[in-house]
Amino acid sequence: MTTAEQLDDRYGRTRTRRGPWIVVITLAALLVGAFGWMIVTSQMNAVDSDDLGFDLVDEHSVTVRFQITGVQGKDVACVVEALDEEFGVVGWKVVEIPAGDTHSQALSATVPTVSAATTGLVNSCWVA
């Protein structure tokens, strides 16, 4: 052991290894950035739907009025359902909505049913 090493040992001076720490911090920053970007892109394609009402046409169809919000310039698809008094699905339909110029659109869809429905609603919407 040389004198410099003896002095370093005696006074607690050690060489720090910064390389592994730099790699770990860089990987953590990249991981946080990737998750952040995934959240941003998923919110850019998010579609919100609000039920505005329904009309029972007859015992074999229901007209559902709804509004979609959040997507401008992209095609959207929504699942519209008709439910009976026990909240069982008695009819459903996929409604494809062409791209619009506005932030929100009010729409209606007629859903065929297999038995009498008591309500109609939008189950979900997504960017097509």
Reported residue count of the chain is 128
Is the confidence at residue 2, as pLDDT, over 80? no
Topology of the domain covering 48-127: Immunoglobulin-like (2.60.40)
Residue found by looking up tokens 């065929």 in the block? 112
Mean pLDDT of the chain: 89
Report helix, strand or coil for 115.
coil
The kind and range of the H/E element at 35 are helix 18-44
Pairing, β 89-97 against β 76-83: antiparallel
At 124 the pLDDT is 93
Among the ranges given (12-26, 86-100, 106-120), the one the predictor scored with the smallest mean pLDDT? 12-26
Q: Which two tokens stand for residue 5?
A: 């090493």
Q: Domain boundaries in the chain? A: 3-44, 48-127
At 61 the pLDDT is 93
Q: What's the pLDDT tens digit per position in 13-68?
A: 777 678 888 999 999 999 999 999 998 888 877 889 999 999 999 989 999 999 99
Does the global pTM surpass 0.85?
Answer: no
Pairing, β 104-112 against β 76-83: unpaired
